[in-house]
Amino acid sequence: MHTLSRSLRRGIALMASRPIYLFMMVVVPVATAFFFLNLMNEGLPLKVPVAMVDTDHSALSRKMGRSLDASPLTDITMELEDYHQAVNKVRSGEIFGFFYIPSGFQEDALSGRTPTLSFYSNMSIFVPGTLAYKGFKTIAVTTSSGIVQTTLAGVGLGDQATQSLVMPLAMDYHLLGNPCSNYNIYLSQSFLAAMMALVAMVMTVFSIGYEIKWSTSPAWLDTAGGSMAVALAGKLLPQTFLLSGVGVAIQAVMFCWLGFPLNCPPLTMIMAMILLVTASQAFGVIVMEALPNLRLGLITVSLVGILSFSIAGFSFPVDKMYGGIAIFSFIMPIRYYFLIYIDQALNGIPLYYSRFYFIALLIFLLLPLIGLKRLRGKCLHPVYVP
């Protein structure tokens, strides 16, 4: 306990004497949280700028234009005269799509000649392009149904009969976990947790690699009584408390202030955040045991941390990835935190069914024991390779 106390005092003093520690562990996560939560504040991007190309200029086409502009997904920012002008506006990035109504549309529609409605969306920018497409398709389907209903009423069918023919099935759908389709609830929680994991790995590697680079690692070990485990505990525990505190504070903002779903006891997600931070630190220790070099260690954990945003399953299902890529998602701590969040906070299933994810995070804490002897040897005889 005496050597641990000395090692802790040394770790706290070093952390307090270098602004980079507080900047990376407090300023960066808080600034990132503010950025994401403010960016996704509306929950779903709305009113995507689009254009209307109306070459029919009929009562029906004007009604479609008003409906499209009233849609929560699209905003008609300009009315253009022809197809080529609209395509140029899409290519310049001024709009994300356009709705094209051909000449003679109303006449053909009411006479039963099946006119063609065209709509174009820029799918190279996926989210606004998809929202524009969804808004266009909704208006097209609604207009088609309205024309059919008008035609049937014209031949003498009553309102109830036409309604049953146009829409023979009543839809009753339920969105589970995220009933308001709020991107903020799903993405911000995942991305901010991944950012916390990345910061924990980077600072762990930096803390250990800095000692080796400047040949202060023998003194660091001496403070810990020659024990590598005590030395790591003294250096990393202050960072664990600080990072966990910042992570729990960000969780409190999301769950308490912004009203993110929390269908489990708050302690469950607090424990998940603490385990994520400690497991990420353990991952950083593993990297330094394998590559006891500051530059190589930082490159490795930065690469792993950045890739975790893509292959941990936030935005693309792991089971649909190529097998060789999907394997890497299971060696990242953030993957298990993400699954805990889905099961517990969003779905509220019994904790028993998430036990393996908690166990996986705990296993990360034991893995550094394998390479402690190697890391101790490198710390006792530091050789810095630039």
For 263-301, write each residue's pLDDT tens digit.
999 999 999 999 999 999 999 999 999 999 999 999 999
Q: Is 302's pLDDT higher than 70?
A: yes
- Please state the pTM of the whole predicted model: 0.79
**Range 322-355 burial, b when 16+ CB lie within 10 A, else e:** eeeeeebbeebbbbbbbbbbbbbbbbeeeeeebe
Residue 3 structure tokens: 């050597």
Q: What is the pLDDT of residue 163?
A: 61
pLDDT (0 to 100) of residue 81:
85
Using one digit for the tens of pLDDT, what is the confidence trace for 188-234?
Answer: 888 899 999 999 999 999 999 999 999 999 999 999 999 999 999 99
Instruction: Provide the mean pLDDT of the chain.
Output: 87
3-state secondary structure the chain: CHHHHHHHHHHHHHHHHCHHHHHHHHHHHHHHHHHHHHHCCCCCCCCEEEEEEECCCCHHHHHHHHHHHHCCCEEEEEEECCHHHHHHHHHHCCCCEEEEECCCHHHHHHCCCCCCCEEEECCCCHHHHHHHHHHHHHHHHHHHHHHHHHHHHHCCCCHHHHHHHHCCCCCCCCCCCCCCCCHHHHHHHHHHHHHHHHHHHHHHHHHHHHHHHCCCHHHHHHHCCCCHHHHHHHHHHHHHHHHHHHHHHHHHHHHHHCCCCCCCCHHHHHHHHHHHHHHHHHHHHHHHHHCCCHHHHHHHHHHHHHHHHHHCCCCCCHHHCCHHHHHHHCCCHHHHHHHHHHHHHHCCCCHHHHHHHHHHHHHHHHHHHHHHHHHHHHHHCCCCCC
Token duo for residue 268? 């469950």
CB 97 within 8 A of CB 86: no
Residues near 212 by beta carbon (within 8 Å), at least 6 away in sequence: 292, 293, 294, 378, 379, 382, 384
Longest dimension (CA), the chain: 96
Nearest CA-CA partner of 78 in 107, 109, 99 = 99
Q: What percent of the chain has pLDDT over 90?
A: 53
